[in-house]
Amino acid sequence: MMKIKKNFLILSIVAVVILSISGLIAYCYWGLPTRIELKNNSIDENSNHIILKNSKLCWDTGANSTAFFKDFGQKKFLLMFSLVFEYGHKIRIQKVKYSNHIEKDSVILKNIIYLDVDSQNTAQWIKNEEISGIVGMNVISKYNWIVDFDKNILQNLSKTTTYNHTPQFTLRYSNTMKPKTTISIADVKLKNILIDSGFNIDFTLLSSDIEKINQRIAPDTICNIISTALFSDSIVEFKYKYSNIMINNIRFDTLYIVEGNRRLIGTGFFRKFDRVFWDSGSKEVRFYRD
């Protein structure tokens, strides 16, 4: 009987701790609104990624969570540990922390939950470009955004802000944190493609997708490339180049597709346009040419 009471007491304590932590996380996430302020919104013109020039933070719509690879001297506390699914279905465990104020050069973040990632564990390209972290959808989804590649600026706006220009191309998504869309390439309909500004080529598609596209339009070239991810370097993949290819009934002069284990639309496609308006309020991504 004493053993049963002891076990019950232990389980009760564990349950209280779990509920307390869950309540704290819920309060941090919903009770304290996350905010970002860009004092200088210039993006790095020398990178194909969308990187805020002064702070070296990467604007990454393919990441659910914001992550920091360096300590900015902010006050913070540990909330929990989280599983992070790396390229190739590898799983890593990372610390999840909360800070009510983080200031990195020209960027101020308030009431932010983020992954605390040791920079020594990140891929070499992150170290080479000295990227200090990524701004993920837990921040991006709070605002509408303009990415202007002519002026090299990234601007956050209220979610109620409209942008009354006629786009040349539009993508729609339904999940706030995972912006997946449906498109047609060379009359091949493809679903659940993640709009991922952290990926720097035009598209990544499955081998079965590429086989269907190749039945309709032959690639100009096929070559091997070395890709990278958050934690991994030296990922060998095939890259296909196409000319005069239709995407959602709009013709593009050139398109690059990498064969991988997921479907992504990257910044290579973003940069085929002069400006992009990310409308979190309407869950649309609108692309413009001057």
Judge if 44 and 96 occupy the same domain: yes
Please write the tens of the pLDDT for every residue from 94-113.
889 999 999 988 899 999 99
CA 240/CA 9 separation, integer angstroms: 61
Judge if 83 and 46 occupy the same domain: yes
| Radius of gyration of the chain from its Cα atoms, rounded to whole angstroms | 21
CA dihedral over 69, 133, 142, 205, signed as positive or negative: negative
CATH code for the domain of 95: 2.40.70
Judge if 78 and 173 occupy the same domain: no
Q: Is 4 or 39 the better-scoring residue by pLDDT?
A: 39
Contact 235, 268 (CB under 8 A): no
pLDDT at position 67 is 93
Is 98 exposed, middle or buried (CB count within 10 Å of its CB: 0-12, 13-18, 19+)? buried
Judge if 206 and 262 occupy the same domain: yes
In the structure encoding, which two tokens stand for residue 266, read together? 């990257």
Judge if 120 and 184 occupy the same domain: no
Judge if 138 and 212 occupy the same domain: no
Judge if 136 and 26 occupy the same domain: yes
In a domain, 26, yes or no: yes
**Most confident region among 67-71, 74-78, 100-104, 216-220 by mean pLDDT:** 216-220
Judge if 33 and 135 occupy the same domain: yes
Please write the tens of the pLDDT for every residue from 11-67.
444 443 444 444 445 444 444 689 999 999 999 998 889 999 999 999 999 999 999
Domains: count for the chain: 2
pLDDT at position 167 is 96
Q: How far is CA 248 from the centre of its chain?
A: 23
Helix runs in the chain, H state only: 2-26, 124-128, 137-140, 207-214, 267-270
Give the closest residue to 63 by CA, choosing from 115, 109, 116: 115
pLDDT at position 282 is 96
**pLDDT surpassing 60 at residue 81:** yes
**Please, what's the largest Cα pairwise distance for the chain?**
78
pLDDT at position 33 is 87
In a domain, 150, yes or no: no
Range of the domain at 38: 22-142
In a domain, 16, yes or no: no
CATH code for the domain of 232: 2.40.70.10
In a domain, 187, yes or no: yes
In a domain, 47, yes or no: yes
**pLDDT surpassing 60 at residue 132:** yes
In a domain, 111, yes or no: yes
pLDDT at position 2 is 53
Say which residues have a Cβ less than 8 Å from residue 2's Cβ, sequence separation at least 6.
none
Judge if 71 and 125 occupy the same domain: yes
Judge if 122 and 176 occupy the same domain: no
Q: Return the bridge partners of 225, or none.
A: 237
CA 89/CA 271 separation, integer angstroms: 28
Q: Is 182 or 17 the better-scoring residue by pLDDT?
A: 182
DSSP secondary structure code for residue 290 in this structure = -
**pLDDT surpassing 90 at residue 243:** yes
In a domain, 104, yes or no: yes
Look at the block and give the residue holding tokens 């284990």.
261
CA 250/CA 287 separation, integer angstroms: 12
Band of residue 9 on the pLDDT scale cut at 50, 70, 90: very low
In a domain, 226, yes or no: yes
Q: Is 164 or 167 the better-scoring residue by pLDDT?
A: 167
Judge if 200 and 109 occupy the same domain: no
